[in-house]
A = this chain, B = another copy of it.
Amino acid sequence: MMNYQKILVENIHSTAIATVDAEGKPVNRIIDMMLEKDGKLYFLTAKGKAFYDQLMAQAYVSIVGVKNQASISLHGNIRNIGKQYLDEIFEKNPYMKQIYPDDRREPLEVFEIYEGEGEYFDISVTPIVRESFTIGEVKASNHGYIIHDTCIGCGKCIDVCPQNCIEEGVPYRIIERHCVHCGACMQVCPQHAIEKSNV
């Protein structure tokens, strides 16, 4: 499997990070992924930002970046590690000196994404491709659409699948790697044999 964390730092770099504000609304902004170490990711922000308060309150982020029509998303738990790795981040990302000159870095603190789950998703190919990955000690969760044993093999799901990613068999099987999660199969199944989980 590819090292998606490295791609987030080296190829995408400017990612969108979502948090939730005090009113329960999502907030999105571009934050650069500054470092990758042992599969963990590092970014920084300034103490004066609402972003900082939201990070401290929920200790959780949802990230997504895009490159060449493929996206890498990642959600997981974060922790504030203060000034750790700050010098290394500035060395590897020299453009930061333009924004925060040497003697004016006091507001900055570093955050570590230490565990989470992610997905690579490419809709520029036919069929589309998705692939999951994890960071840290988390177990990958099942997600996607599943066809249960009550399937009677009528083939209605195959007729509506935009990705042609359902295989005949007993029961029929959805190839999760190519599934776009549109739900069309579940809608037409006369047996209600198709279940959605965590999509």
Neighbouring B residues of A60 by C-beta, 8 Å: 25-26
A18 within 8 A of B: yes
Which residues of chain A from 42 to 60 have any CB-CB distance to chain B below 8 Å in the complex? Answer: 46-50, 58, 60
- A16 and B16 form a contact (CB under 8 A): yes
With A and B bound together, what is the CA distance between A104 and B161 in angstroms? 7
- B28 and A17 form a contact (CB under 8 A): yes
Which listed residue, B28, B99, B100, B183, touches A62 by the CB 8 Å rule? B28
Which listed residue, B16, B27, B30, B199, touches A75 by the CB 8 Å rule? B27
A169 within 8 A of B: no
Which listed residue, B20, B29, B61, touches A73 by the CB 8 Å rule? B29
- B27 and A62 form a contact (CB under 8 A): yes
- B24 and A28 form a contact (CB under 8 A): no
Which listed residue, B24, B66, B186, touches A20 by the CB 8 Å rule? B24
With A and B bound together, what is the CA distance between A180 and B47 in angstroms? 11
Q: CB-CB contacts of A155-199 with B at 8 A, as 1s and 0s?
A: 000001111000000000000000011111011000000001011
Q: For residue A186, which residue of chain B has the nearest CB?
A: B48
- B64 and A16 form a contact (CB under 8 A): yes
A141 within 8 A of B: no
Q: A14-B66, A184-B48, A196-B48 are in contact. Are A104 and B20 (CB under 8 A)?
A: no
Ordered by A's residue number, 15 sampled pairs between the chains whose C-beta atoms are within 8 Å are A14-B69, A16-B28, A18-B18, A26-B60, A30-B66, A30-B121, A46-B180, A48-B145, A48-B184, A48-B196, A49-B182, A104-B160, A105-B162, A106-B160, A107-B182
Which listed residue, B16, B30, B98, B162, touches A101 by the CB 8 Å rule? B162
With A and B bound together, what is the CA distance between A149 and B127 in angstroms? 62
